[in-house]
Amino acid sequence: MQTKTRKLDHIRITVDSDVEHPGKITLLEHVELVHRALPETALSSIDTSIEFLGKQLSMPLMVTGMTGGHPVAARINCVIARAAARLGIAIGVGSQRAAIEDPSLEYTFRVARDCAREEGGDVVLVANLGAAQLVAGYGVEHVRRAIEMIDADAVAIHVNAAQEAFQPEGDVDFRNAIDLVAEVARELDKPVIVKETGHGLGYEVVYVLRGRGIRFFDVSGAGGTSWVRVEYFRARIRGLQGLAEAAKTFSSWGIPTAQAVVETRWAAPDSCIIASGGVRTGLDAAKAIALGADIAGLALPVIRAYTVGDLDGVIGLLERIGMEFKAALFLTGASSLAEARRLPLIVSPELESRLQARGVKLDLYLNGARLL
């Protein structure tokens, strides 16, 4: 099946069906920020700005890569870019493989840069290709093309083995992927972000990647969009009963987002971490940052907001998240993101014991790696 058609299927299913991990949560629910009755700060003086990829964001938020490769997707990328430019947040485009295969589709990605510029914004824009494409023969020149196509500030190399495993046409060869990602990162003059797609980065992978020079990670953990569940719906629509059953078994596969943030920071304390996967509110974002992330990211709610309310819908959603984020900082007495990273946290025994099982000592983490 053509990449272009598959992408449209994905958009339809994610918008119309219940594609979030059934029975698995981000575990941000298991992290509590402590209320401060007298915050000793003014809501209006809270500074949520942060430097990311050499540019200034008004708050630590990113709409992570979703789409491109189809006229419908071009419109979505343009709207998200306009919203991001107005609000001062970062964005990514979806996999640019379709445009590498067929350059007539380049405009469906480039609109993200062009529309942001029309709004007068110099947004942080992240290009996107899959690690599986590197294994299949893409080299640094293809990645460079993806970056140049949209004048990107960085490139996300997505890793989506769980999704690929449940596609009849899936790219299920990830041999040497770490070497190939490291080689691309070494040769490029723009940062490489290694990005999961909803099933979570864990300690082992991040540790090895850090040793190979990678310093940017988008954990994209379990608890939000499950790409195995998306493939379950696709298999059902196509009458592939066996595949659908197998995908159903793995619909909640993965490392929950809160756990993934801690494992990633523990493995790569000096890295820049994007916490995504099931981030749905500004309070989720604040918890993720207090737990050790630098930026919070989200995807599914944005495409749904677009479908319902176009540009106003996307802006409304992102403004609400910004308001909640500021409120969370205000109510914990944090005046800046640096202070948010030092907030006291109550972590549930369940999350603590999961982390312990993964070799993370919570008190050492909270008082050590988290603060770096």
Minimum distance of ligand FNR from residue 14's CB (angstroms): 4
Q: Cβ–Cβ contacts within 10 Å for residue 231, how many?
A: 29
Q: DSSP string covering 210-246, please?
A: HHTT--EEE---BTSB-HHHHHHHHHHHTT-HHHHHH
Give yes or no for residue 276 binding ligand FNR (CB under 6 A): yes
Instruction: Tell which one of 60, 88, 94, 292 touches ligand FNR (CB under 6 A).
Output: 94
Determine the Cα–Cα distance for residues 215 and 294; give it in Å rounded to an integer. 12
**Residues 98 to 157 in contact with ligand FNR, rule: CB under 6 A:** 128, 156
Instruction: Tell which one of 286, 288, 298, 331 touches ligand FNR (CB under 6 A).
Output: 298
89, 291, 156, 59 alpha-carbon torsion, rounded to 10°: 10
Q: At what angle do helices 140-150 and 177-187 cross, to 10 degrees?
A: 60
Residues 6+ apart with CB under 8 A from 123: 55, 81, 84, 85, 89, 90, 91, 113, 116
Minimum distance of ligand FNR from residue 257's CB (angstroms): 8
Question: Which CB sits closer to ligand FNR, 166 or 365?
Answer: 166
Question: Which CB sits closer to ligand FNR, 322 or 365?
Answer: 322
Question: Which CB sits closer to ligand FNR, 244 or 299?
Answer: 299
Determine the Cα–Cα distance for residues 183 and 212; give it in Å rounded to an integer. 9
Determine the Cα–Cα distance for residues 225 and 231; give it in Å rounded to an integer. 11
Q: At what angle do helices 300-332 and 71-87 cross, to 10 degrees?
A: 20
Question: Which CB sits closer to ligand FNR, 80 or 343?
Answer: 80
Give yes or no for residue 10 binding ligand FNR (CB under 6 A): yes
**Residues 163 to 202 in contact with ligand FNR, rule: CB under 6 A:** 195, 197-198
Give yes or no for residue 89 binding ligand FNR (CB under 6 A): no
Q: Which string of x and - marks every residue 30-69 that binds ligand FNR (by CB under 6 A)? A: ----------------------------------xxxx--
Minimum distance of ligand FNR from residue 357's CB (angstroms): 24
Q: Cβ–Cβ contacts within 10 Å for residue 103, how many?
A: 10
What is the helix (H) or strand (E) element at residue 357, kind and residue range? helix 349-357
Instruction: Tell which one of 131, 300, 337, 343 touches ligand FNR (CB under 6 A).
Output: 300
Instruction: Tell which one of 60, 256, 277, 322 touches ligand FNR (CB under 6 A).
Output: 277
Do residues 311 and 299 lie in contact, with contact meaning Cβ atoms separated by under 8 Å?
no
Question: Which CB sits closer to ligand FNR, 264 or 332?
Answer: 264
Q: What is the contact surface with ligand FNR in residues (CB under 6 A)? A: 10-11, 14, 64-67, 94-95, 128, 156, 158, 195, 197-198, 220, 224-225, 276-279, 298-300, 303
